[in-house]
A = this chain, B = another copy of it.
Amino acid sequence: MMGRGRGAWWQDRFADRGARITAPREVVLEILQETDDHVTAADVYVKAHERNPSIGLTTVYRTLDMLTQMGIVQKFDFGDGKARYELVNNPGGKKHHHHLVCLRCKAIVDYTEFLDDELEFIGKTQQRLSKKYDFDITDHAISFYGVCARCR
């Protein structure tokens, strides 16, 4: 139903990198796929620990970091002292979106509108940057900052 064999879509990416598919890593991926929020490492840890009490916080951090480096997860910092994580491509989950951040109360609005123009612009820019700086670009993030109605 997805990918080759009976593995999930991300398993091939692990293989390419020589990373082992372990129980804790599977649990973390599961959890990320089930949520639509920007979760913190602690959030993931709590849920992971419920399913498998042997999973430690350290491993959650390490796994999230690995996934970030692989481009499977995107790491954000909205300014409240905790990093947030979310799947880059969540099949059947939340779709591509960007963020609108209130500089006062740190509220986050996820917007999915107006992405048609973006597609063209990002595509072209990514290609140019990629070539000029010899980067293997896998992702991007756009954030707008301002003050929300309630804080004004």
Contact = CB atoms under 8 A, between A and B. Distances in A.
Interface of A: 68-71, 74-75, 77, 79, 83, 100, 102-104, 109, 111, 113-114, 117-118, 121, 124-126, 128-130, 132-149, 152
Contacts of A133: 100, 109, 111, 148
Given A70-B103, A139-B145, 5 more contacts: A68-B79, A117-B124, A136-B146, A139-B144, A141-B145
A69 B104 contact: yes
Contacts of A146: 71, 130, 135-139
A135 B146 CA distance: 6
Contacts of A145: 71, 74, 137-141
A143 B76 CA distance: 11
Contacts of A77: 77, 83
Contacts of A136: 146-148, 152
A124 to B, nearest CB: 6
B148 A135 contact: yes
